[in-house]
Amino acid sequence: ATRVAREWERRTLSFFLFPSSMRPALQGALARATLVAVLATLVPHASCISLGKANAIRAPALRLRGGAMAMFWGSNTDTPAYPPLATPAADETATSIVSGASSLAGSSLTASLGWRVVLAGSYCLFFAFTALPGRLDTKLGKPKREDGRFFTPSGWAFAIWGPIFLLEMVMAASAAFAPGSLAGPAGSEWLQQMAPCYAAAALHQVVWTLTFREWALDKLWIPALNLTLAAFGLSSAHGATTRALAAAGSMSWYGYAVAAVPIGLHFGWMCCAAVLSWNNVLNAVKAPRPVQLAAATFSCYGAAALLGHVSFHRRDPIPALVGWWALWAVSTGHEVLRGAVDNLALDALNLAAKASSWLSLLAAAAAVAAVRFG
């Protein structure tokens, strides 16, 4: 290794033409640094290569690398220090060290604190901004005949916010003060995946609370867009919970009750709320009534198809059950329009809402059957 390094130094100096004014010691250091860089590129994992009994190949590579490092740091090059060859005991010790370090990193306070703060903080932010007065939904009140909104659920449907807020409050409190209660024996990886998705959805809902106001009556596409983005975020959070459900030992029963259930409810309802918002956009821009009626009918079947597909694919009936709840409320929410629009068209819309509601219930049953017999 010493002879190779000296020859490399001579050739490097001649090829790269270092200035003659450069101190010889600096020239040597640069040449040796070049050699080390090349060796680091060629044999970066020489000590980790498993060659079985072919130590005659690995040993020179290790000695070459050790000798170069010894020269670079100014050690005695006649007795270069190089890593010892691996033995079964050394391999076992290294494996245990790496495993222990990985376990420590995964369960460290910093990693745990990250998702706990994100989950609890985003819920508190979402809840605080939702409580602010002045939103359009609190000012407009119940649907009126003069509104002419077709895709409108009855008021009782919004009672679903009760269990969503309550269970997510327990989830946030558990994340802050008892994180181990949410995770199963397999760990909290699903919570680390779910927390940022939930936080993104919460932030979009915060923006919705600030934009769904009188100043944005002619810009209702802004709150509609935010609810759509919130639905995407909750879809990702729901995906993390369903993957945890599919993995044995990843979620406790308590975690299912206070995390998976409210996330599923929230996701399903946010999808329906986004559909409602886009129908409100059509109403706000004074789209022709046939267009609004067709959009409302398509929205019923589209929401049922989306939530039914997600429920069956992810083996979770909750989103489809939310679709059943919301669409049945839509089928009874149009009665205020009796006399203001053609009754035959209104009956057809109500029929579409009820049919899509039953389809959602069928999809929920199929998801349960898939879990039970699949």
Greater pLDDT, 77 or 9: 9
CB contact at 8 A, 130 and 205: yes
Residues, the chain, total? 374
Euclidean distance between CA atoms 240 and 222, whole angstroms: 28
Q: What is the mean pLDDT of residues 320-334?
A: 91
* Residue range 146-199, pLDDT digits in tens: 666 778 888 899 999 999 999 999 999 998 888 888 887 767 788 889 999 999
Share of the chain above pLDDT 90, in %: 40
62: alpha, beta or left? (left if phi > 0; alpha if psi -120 to 50)? alpha
Hey, what are 316's tokens?
A: 């979770």
Dihedral (CA of 35, 40, 41, 43) sign = positive
**Residue that wins the pLDDT comparison between 359 and 216:** 359
Rounded distance between C-alpha atoms, residue 288 and residue 283, angstroms: 9
Biggest alpha carbon–alpha carbon distance for the chain: 102
Contacts of 105-113 spanning 24+ positions with Cβ under 8 A: 106/187, 107/187, 111/192, 112/179, 112/188
Could you give the C-alpha distances from 25 to 21, 30, 104, 244, in angstroms and in order? Answer: 12, 9, 44, 60
pLDDT at 157: 92
* Structural contact between residues 165 and 112, judged by C-beta atoms closer than 8 angstroms: no
Joined tokens for residue 209: 């609370």
Q: How far apart are CA 242 and CA 79, in angstroms?
A: 59
Band of residue 108 on the pLDDT scale cut at 50, 70, 90: very low
Share of the chain above pLDDT 70, in %: 66
Coil, strand or helix at 318: helix
pLDDT of 70 over the 50 cut: no
pLDDT of 101 reads: 40
Cα R_g (the chain), whole angstroms: 32
Query: For the whole model, what pTM was predicted?
Result: 0.69
Higher-pLDDT residue of 164 and 115 is: 164
Going by pLDDT thresholds of 50, 70 and 90, the confidence category of residue 368 is very high
At 275, is the pLDDT very low, low, confident or very high (cuts 50, 70, 90)? very high
Better-scored residue on pLDDT, 69 or 2? 2
Q: Specify whether the CB–CB gap between 337 and 318 falls below 8 A.
A: no
How high is the pLDDT of residue 90? 53
Place of tokens 């199963």: 184
- The two tokens of residue 33 are 């640094």
What pLDDT score was predicted for residue 270?
97
> What pLDDT, on the 0 to 100 scale, is given for residue 172?
93
Nearest by Cα to 356 from 308, 290, 312? 308
Tell me what pLDDT residue 40 has.
39
CB-hemisphere CA count at 13 Å for 82? 20
